Amino acid sequence: MTTATTSTPNVTGKPAGGNLRFYGVWLIGVIALIVLPMIFSSGGSLTSFSLIGIAIVFALSYNILLGQTGLLSFGHAVHYGLGGFAACHMMNAVTSHGWPVPLPFIPLFGGIGGLVFAMIIGWVMTKRAGTVFAMISLGIGELVASSSLILRSVFGGESGVTTDRTALPKMFGWTFGPQLQVYYLIAFWLVLSAVAMYALTRTPLGRISNAVRDNPERVQFIGYDPHVVRYLAFCFAGFFAGIAGGLAAINFEIANSAYLGAIQSGLVLFSTFIGGTAYFFGPILGAILVTYLQLGLTSVTSVWQLYFGIIFIGIVMFSPGGIAGLVMMHRPLVRAGTLWTVIPSYLVAIVPTAALAFGVILTIETIARYSGGDAINLFGIGFKPTSPVTWISAAVLVVGGAFVARVTWRRIADAWDRAATVARDRGYLA
Amino acid sequence: MRKLALAIAVIAPMLGHAAWAEDTIKIGYIDPLSGGGASVGEGGLKTFQYLADELNAKGGILGHKVEIVPLDNKTNPQESLVQAQKAIDAGVRYITQGNGSSVAAALSDFITKNNTRNPGKEVLYFNYAAVDPSLTNEKCSYWHFRWDASSDIKMEALTNYMKDTASIKKVYLINQDYSFGQSVRTDARKMLGAKRPDIQIVGDELHPLLKVTDFSPYIAKIKASGADSVVTGNWGQDFALLLKAAADAGLKVNWYTYYAGGAGGPTAIKQTGLDHQVFQITEGFANSGNQTAMDYEKAFRAKVNLSLWYPRAVNEMRMFKAAAEKANSIDPVKVAAALEDLKFEVLDGGTGFMRKDDHQFFQPIYISSFGKLAANDPFDEENTGWGWHGVSKVDTAQAMVSTSCKMTRP
Amino acid sequence: MLELVVISTLNGVLFGMLLFLLSSGLTVIFSMMGVLNFAHASFYMLGAFFGFQLTKWIGFWPALVLAPLLVGAIGMAVERYGLRNTHKHGHVAELLLTFGLAFAIEEIVSMIWGKSPLDYRVPALLDFPAFTIFSTNYPAYKIFMLAVSIVIFVALLVVLKRTRVGLIVQAALTHPHMVGHLGHNVGRVFMAVFGVGSALAGLAGVIAGPALVTQSDMAASLGPILFVVIVFGGLGSLPGAFVASLVIGLVQTFAVALDGSLASAFGPLDPSAGPSVLADIWNVTIAQVAPIVPYMLLVLILIVRPMGLMGTRES
């Protein structure tokens, strides 16, 4: 069960000035993190940003397994959850013993929690890759989640362990009561973890992990033990997942068995794959999208699960490289300067495609709300689910949209082929 | 793929928060509206929306319109906190929730912290169904008010009934292995032991929550124990499957339950054909015999197309109005103060009161059994043709428990 | 004691056969195509709901035939228009496709049939106690489920091992190109395999629906236990899945029947002086952990014998 993605080291062989661009990207990221809460300062967006930050660290840690080492895990949330519990217990211990540990150091203990468990369980788990690993991780995930309800003195039963982040020793006079301060704490750890995980991909270990993913036999021939490599990658992934869990514990001030469960494991798998496992920034995009959908969809439609499902099926089917794959597809065109030949066909396609999407949404909402009779509000246009006008417009949008959209998509494909051919001719690989 | 990218872009602008009018009272309703618990959560939502409409038709609360803001928590504590934060950011000052004691504990803790950290922006938490006793004992909070009878109150009422029922000799306890199930089990042991020491507890089983597909081994044990009565707090599929397995094996016992009336419960009982052998403990039921309540039930069913599962929700909303009027304010701090020790005539008749010490509402409790409808029982459940029949009413004074709550008051 | 052993064995076998009924389709798909079909439980749910609806319209017995065919057709469509395009992108993509499908199916089902449990009854013809042992009744419907499971097992075994079709299917798995060169349409073989697997899930749904709870969350509540069955039994081994179902059924049943904990076994050695987590482990009864025992078995067998109980290959 190796991913079909190929390793594309996107930094090697970079032209002069690439260094500058490389640091520039990171710098822009950091600045964006600092500035974001100043632009969107409402409490709701702060909460969302904090959750997205946590999801990014978690998804990046998962990609150490899935993208880099080719290990499909169904139980990654175990490390996340144990990290959360470790952080909660540490916070409570700090408060009750009066240790001089301020809050910003707490995620480290979360990381240690995740790491310790990974070290204990990892050696037997990583003996094999593929289905065997996937299934063991599924079993371990289920075991730990169930045990957390049985071992009440550690996990606090299903109500979990609560803590108070403001009770810890202060740092720079910050109490970490307001969400803004928590956001900056999460942003700080996000940058730290992301840099560390990126650096990890550049180390010999990171490289040999890729080799283990692609061809473990050859790795053995050149004198490395794939088992050890997998084990090390597993430990690193556990550590960073633990950090994410620790951050979540700080954000929610509670850790409970839902942290460890299959849903959490499934979500991180989703985020990572949707974002794209072949590129470092893929999981970041995936985590942002999935968290955003999770937070936003539920408040606008009762059948959010259906949209969730449709979006994922669509991405898997039409863009198996994830969002990152889609973005990077355009790189050769940008370099060759042929991107502009494609853009007009994109613009043309927007209209019918939007109509199609609009029609699909209208159809789903009509069916979902038919019995309840609640009005549908799409971009300020009101529709009554029981009225034939709605049904007809939905049908027209779906059928007409699909018909016209197909034509425009074909045009995109043609334009794309031409542009890619030119790019290839100019020496940029498509 | 582009289609999808666009679809996302199309949905995105819809994701903003809806704007609400300033002077409405927004009550955030946080319960599962998708996934496993959705059938229960939706019933509750419809109930609260009905109650809000009812209040609004009569001029709202102190002239303010009441609006229910549905928030889907997927029965997940973290998700609940996110939703609560979202609601508070959107101006919600009252939150009501019921399903899941783990959610309730997390919410109570969250709201207490929120109120300490944001003075002047306090939020009240009205709990209509989470029955873990700890919420009004060791984990009690000034900002949490509970209208449902906690599991120990229900057990107090049930054991007061059982102690006068001479035919009960051997009791078997089977419960879900989590805090609620455990408290049912320990309370049953303690209270039965004190009130009827001659009753033998012939079995005491905890099984994992919502993970058992085959209850026949448990039924075999109940059968082997010779029990004549089973006490269970099981709900949802754990209740339905337990009862089905019992009926399949031909087990003849009386079932004393907390949630036989929950979504799907009546359907399951009817399938097994256990006529008037399943009892439930509630603060009210459709055929309670109280004319006002039965008229209300009729109107409710006609409009909502559901049974009134939560008479306590009616009490909650009406008491909220009473407290606001008493305080002459819709400020949560003042409403909270007015709610304390407030006496109130409950929907099914009789007086209840919100105890100041722990913010637990005490009210009369009913024991009813499910089966073929008697002549004077008009309502059936879930179109089964069977309904609840009153067996016993336990007065407020007989349904009181002490508390260990040491409340921190603002 | 004899009563306990006899009843528990019976219950265990019945439960085990239910598990096999539920997992047989998954075994077929997983072992033939290597696809981790997370939507399997959703197909099972579709079977139950189709069964319920068709029973209402045309009666249980026609529904028993029609509903699985419908589910099988849906499965084939999923393979043809979904999985086949995704196949080249690897197993993770296939798996995520079925993941997304499970989400969508659950929501569609609850849009059509609502979220409350349905009143799906055992057919009147089978609604009587088949026999009574130690004053415990065994309903005829359970015996019917047992019979169906065994019929499925034998039929699958015969088809796969004894017929030409079975040989082609097995060959297509390991040597798709060779099979293609021999003039067989490999794509169609896979589509048929997926269809049969889905139809088996649908059949399980029609049959298990009345016995369990027919509700829109029934797929989610089934959980990953089916994966445990087929992995424990050994990938690609139908007899393995059969044995694993029996083992897991019996182990779970006996775990419930045996009322023991470490505390009761070694009472005097109570570690209450130690940390409280030990006390938790000490006092937990076997019955409490019964449902997680299969996962322990799974982890243990994969560590000791990665190909599973009767498997011949690792993936």
Provide ipTM, 2 decimals.
Answer: 0.88
C170 or B285, which is more confident: B285
pLDDT reading at B5 higher than 70: no
Chain A residues with CB under 8 Å of C90 CB are 1-4, 320
Q: Per-residue pLDDT averaged across C282-288, rounded?
A: 77
Q: Name the burial class of residue B316, with classes exposed (0-12), middle (13-18) and buried (19+) by CB atoms within 10 angstroms of its CB.
A: buried
pLDDT at A16 over 70: no
Q: Which residues of B287-314 are buried (b: 16+ CB within 10 A; e: fewer)?
A: bbebeebbebbeebeeeeebbbbbbbbb
pLDDT score recorded for residue A146: 86
Window from A135-149, B32-46, B83-97 with minimum mean pLDDT: B32-46
pLDDT at B4 over 70: no
The third-level CATH classification (topology) of the domain covering A2-308 is ABC transporter involved in vitamin B12 uptake, BtuC (1.10.3470)
Quick one: pLDDT at residue C271? Answer: 52
Query: Distance between CA A260 and CA A126 in Å, rounded?
Result: 20
C280 Cα distance to chain centroid: 32
Using an 8 Å Cβ cutoff, are A83 and A111 in contact?
yes
SS3 of chain B: helix, strand, coil, percent, to 5: 40, 20, 40
> Min CA distance, C115 vs chain B (Å)?
5
In this prediction, residue C46 has a pLDDT band, given cuts at 50, 70 and 90, of: very high
CB pairs under 8 A between A and C: 140
Residue B201 CB-density burial (10 A; 0-12 exposed, 13-18 middle, 19+ buried):
middle
End-to-end CA distance of chain B: 55
Q: In percent, how much of chain C has pLDDT > 70?
A: 93
Task: Tell me which chain A residue has its CA closest to the CA of residue C303.
Answer: A124
Test C213 with B35 for CB contact under 8 angstroms.
Answer: no
* pLDDT for res A6: 41
Give SS3 for A92: helix
Counting beta carbons within 10 angstroms of the beta carbon of residue B273, is it exposed (0 to 12), middle (13 to 18) or buried (19 or more)?
exposed
Compute chain B's Rg from CA coordinates.
Answer: 22
Q: Which of A44, A51, A314 has its CB closest to that of B4?
A: A314
Do residues C55 and B251 touch, judged by C-beta distance below 8 A? no
State residue C314's pLDDT score: 58
Average pLDDT over residues B113-137: 92
Q: Is the pLDDT of residue A23 over 60?
A: yes
Chain A residue closest in CA terms to C221: A262
Query: A349 to chain B: which residues are within 8 Å by CB?
Result: 2
Mutation pick from C42, C120, C213, C293 vs chain B, by most beta carbons of B within 10 Å, is C213
Q: DSSP states of A131-197 as a string?
A: HHHHHHHHHHHHHHHHHHHH-HHHH-GGG-EE--GGGSPPBTTB---SHHHHHHHHHHHHHHHHHHH
pLDDT tens per residue across span B202-230: 999 888 888 888 898 899 889 889 999 99
For the stretch C250-270, what's the b/e string if a residue is b when 16 or more beta carbons lie within 10 angstroms of its beta carbon? Answer: bbbbbbbbeeebbbeeeeeee
How big is the CA angle at C43 (ends C39 and C45), to the nearest 5 degrees?
Answer: 110
C18 with B218: Cβ contact below 8 A: no
pLDDT at C277: 67
Lookup result for tokens 């987590």: C277
Our CA-based measurement puts residue C1 at a distance from the nearest CA of chain A, in whole angstroms, of 29
- Output A241 or A2, whichever has higher pLDDT: A241
- Across the interface, whether the CB atoms of B263 and C117 are under 8 A apart is answered yes
C256 touches chain B (CB under 8 A): yes
- Domain edges within chain A: 2-308, 331-425
Q: Is the pTM of this model over 0.80?
A: yes
Over residues A111-128, the pLDDT tens digits come to 999 999 999 999 999 998
Residue C114: exposed, middle, or buried by beta-carbon count in 10 A (0-12, 13-18, 19+)? middle
Residue C273 has a pLDDT of 52
Mean per-residue pLDDT over chain C, rounded: 86
pLDDT digits over C240-249, tens only? 999 999 999 9
- Give me the pLDDT at residue A340, please: 82
Chain B closest CA to C94's CA: distance in Å?
17
Check pLDDT > 50 for residue A106: yes
Angle at Cα C44 formed by Cα A304 and Cα A258, nearest 5°?
A: 50
A391, B92, B339 from B334: Cα distances, Å = 49, 16, 9
Interval B156-170 mean pLDDT: 92
- For residues C57 and B33, which has the higher predicted lDDT (pLDDT)? C57
SS3 label, residue A38: helix
| Mean of per-residue pLDDT scores for chain B | 89
Question: Region B385-409: what's the mean pLDDT?
Answer: 92
Rounded CA-CA distance A45/A34 in Å is 14
Average pLDDT over residues B63-88: 90
Of the two residues A237 and C127, the one the predictor is more confident about is: A237
Other CB atoms within a 10 A radius of the CB of residue C42 amount to 28
Between positions 233 and 252 of B, the ones with CB within 8 A of C are 237, 240-241, 244, 248-250
Structure tokens at A399: 């059928």
The least confident of A75-84, B100-109, B301-310, C259-268 is C259-268
Give how far C315 is from chain A: nearest CA, Å.
6
**Cα C292–C297–C299 angle (5° rounding)?**
95
Confidence of residue A372 (pLDDT cuts 50, 70, 90): low
On chain A, the residues whose CB falls within 8 A of the CB of B15 are 292, 296-297, 299-300
DSSP, res A40: S
Q: Output the pLDDT for position B175.
A: 93
Give me the pLDDT at residue B392, please: 92
Query: Do the beta carbons of residue B387 and residue B377 sit within 8 Å?
Result: yes
Any bridge partners for residue A161, and if so which? A255
Q: Which of residues 357-396 of A touch C (CB under 8 A)?
A: 367-368
From residue C189, alpha-carbon distances to B221, B235, C16, C103 in Å are 48, 45, 30, 27
Residue B152 token pair: 């120990």
Average pLDDT over residues C287-311: 85
Reduced to 3 states (helix: H, G, I; strand: E, B; else coil), residue A16 is coil
Instruction: Detail the DSSP E strand segments found in B32-188.
Output: 66-72, 94-97, 124-127, 144-146, 170-176
Q: Is the CB of A270 inside 8 Å of chain C's CB atoms?
A: yes
Half-sphere exposure of A99 (CA within 13 A, CB side): 12
The answer to whether the CB of A346 falls within 8 A of the CB of B2 is yes
pLDDT at C257 over 90: no
| pLDDT tens column, A354-371 | 889 888 888 888 888 777
Q: Which chains touch C (3 or more CB pairs under 8 A)?
A: A, B
Phi, psi of B61 (to 5 degrees): -105, 115
pLDDT above 70 as % of chain A = 94
Among C215, C221, C284, most B C-beta atoms within 10 A, so best to mutate, is C215
User: pLDDT band at residue B21, thresholds of 50, 70 and 90?
Assistant: very low
Look at phi and psi of residue C55 and say left if phi exceeds 0, alpha if psi is from -120 to 50, else beta. alpha
**Span C204-233, mean pLDDT?**
87
Smallest Cβ distance to C213: which of B208, B264, B384?
B264
Rounded to an integer, the average pLDDT of B350-354 is 93
Q: At a CB cut-off of 8 Å and minimum separation 6, what does A207 contact?
A: none
Exposure string over A12-48, b if 16+ CB within 10 A, otherwise e: eeeeeeeeeeeeeeeeebbeebeebbeeeeebbbbbb
Concatenating the DSSP letter of every residue in B127-155 gives ESS---GGGGTTT--TTEEE-SPPHHHHH
Q: State residue C263's pLDDT score.
A: 64
For residue B64, give the DSSP letter: B
pLDDT at B10 over 80: no
The answer on pLDDT for A14 being more than 60 is: no
Whether A128 sits inside 8 A of C314 (CB atoms) is yes
A33 or A421, higher pLDDT: A33
* Cβ atoms of B168 and B279 closer than 8 Å: no
Mean pLDDT of C299-307: 87
- Is the alpha carbon torsion for A123, A129, A131, A132 positive or negative? negative
- Answer whether A262 touches C (CB < 8 Å): yes
